[in-house]
Amino acid sequence: MKDYKRATRKFKIYWSVFDLLQKQARLEELRKVSEDPQLWEDPERAQKVMKQISALNQEVTDWNMLYQQIQDSLELANLWDENLRAELELETKEIEDQISRREFTAMLSGEYDRGNAILAIHAGAGGTDSQDWAEMLQRMYLRWAEKKDYEAEILDLTPGEEAGIKSITIAIDGYYAYGYLQSEKGVHRLVRLSPFDSSHRRHTSFALVEVLPQVENETEVEINSDDLRIDVFKSSGAGGQNVQKNATAIRITHVPTGIVVSCQNERSQIQNRENAMRVLRARLLELKEQAQVEQLAELRGEYTKAEWGSQIRSYVLHPYQIVKDHRTEYEVGNIQGVLDGEIEGFIESYLLSMVGERHP
């Protein structure tokens, strides 16, 4: 009975954070928008609205179902009978597990946390080993997205000259994709016996992971077409050889900031340009957000510039096997499971460590 009361108290706390009435009002608002025939004249916008409705409806439904489950358990508790103890304990455990899962989504209250993400991976110094490591990380995140039922679309990929990849940009679409993936931003370090070293010596490889929020509303980031330099070129494969006869790849340079974005994964020049603009908007938004963070930090006297240097996580395959996050000290011995996309523990421990810091 004590566990049930504790679970009920936790539920009331997160229920207030969730703000059901506000979510239901927003859901009704989106449903009215979806009923407007003019919406469907813009298929891309219509698709985004329908995705929002689906995600929000699922969230509201889940909370209502949990609320009903608590009410049913309360009735069971009021009919207290020693024979009902096992059933009530099972119900209480299930309720606590559901509330714990919702703790993390309740913490993700940032402006872009509920939205889609753009994930970029860049091989660091170390030649083929680092490029192979970047490809291993690509596989890890794609497997994670698959387990979450998120949609993953490769926007741009530059293959390595011998193996692996030099860089990749992936759009990951799903509710809370950015909120979860922001924990992965930083340098990832791999220690292993190199399969590319004839002497089979131990090598340390690095890769940089970037995570950006996708900009759903284009008015958030205004881009003057006069500020863009657009180059068209042929897509290339491993070793730099051209893989298409037609020039469909796009490189966009934002002259005022020097940001360069390229996309070459689609066969359509128009689609590559649209994808490049998606990434450019995300990078410009990050630049704007970072400037605000730095300004606030400087006022507080705590600003230090983030550099390529220190890693956030180490993946050690030799002489022992362990994956350790250096920010939270969370570690796992099952490195193969992690590389297969089982990174929830790292994400959750990071989010818990950031409570009170991200949204003061």
pLDDT in tens, 314-356: 999 988 999 999 999 999 999 999 999 999 999 989 988 876 5
CA distance 14 to 66: 12
Say which residue, 18 or 76, is predicted with more confidence: 76
Provide the CATH topology of domain 2-107. Answer: Methane Monooxygenase Hydroxylase; Chain G, domain 1 (1.20.58)
Contact 95, 73 (CB under 8 A): yes
CA distance 200 to 90: 52
Q: Top-level CATH class of 117-213+312-353?
A: alpha beta
Q: How many angstroms separate the Cα of 39 from the Cα of each of 23, 49, 85, 130, 174?
A: 22, 9, 54, 46, 22
Q: Out of 42-51, 81-90, 150-159, 200-209, pick the least confident.
A: 81-90
Q: Which of 224, 259, 185, 211 is nearest to 112 (CA)?
A: 211
pLDDT score at 13: 52
Q: What is the CATH number of domain 220-300?
A: 3.30.160.20
The CA angle 93-98-103, to the nearest 5 degrees, is 120
Backbone angles phi, psi at 168, to 5 degrees: -150, 145
In this predicted structure, the answer to whether residue 275 has a pLDDT above a threshold of 60 is yes
Q: How confident is the model at residue 177 (pLDDT cuts 50, 70, 90)?
A: very high
Q: How many residues does the chain have?
A: 360
Q: Quick check: helix, strand or coil at residue 35? A: coil
Amino acid at 196: F
Say which residue, 306 or 138, is predicted with more confidence: 138
Tokens of 9: 């108290």
- Domain edges within the chain: 2-107, 117-213+312-353, 220-300
Q: Which of 170, 160, 92 is nearest to 131 (CA)?
A: 160
The percentage of residues in the chain with a pLDDT greater than 90, rounded to a whole number, is 44
Amino acid at 359: H
Q: At what angle are helices 20-34 and 43-78 packed, to 10 degrees? A: 150
Is the fold of 117-213+312-353 the same as that of 220-300?
no
CA distance 134 to 121: 6
**Residue 190 CB-density burial (10 A; 0-12 exposed, 13-18 middle, 19+ buried):** buried
Contact 49, 33 (CB under 8 A): yes
Amino acid at 236: S
In this structure, the number of other CB atoms found within 10 A of the CB of residue 297 comes to 13
CA distance 74 to 81: 13
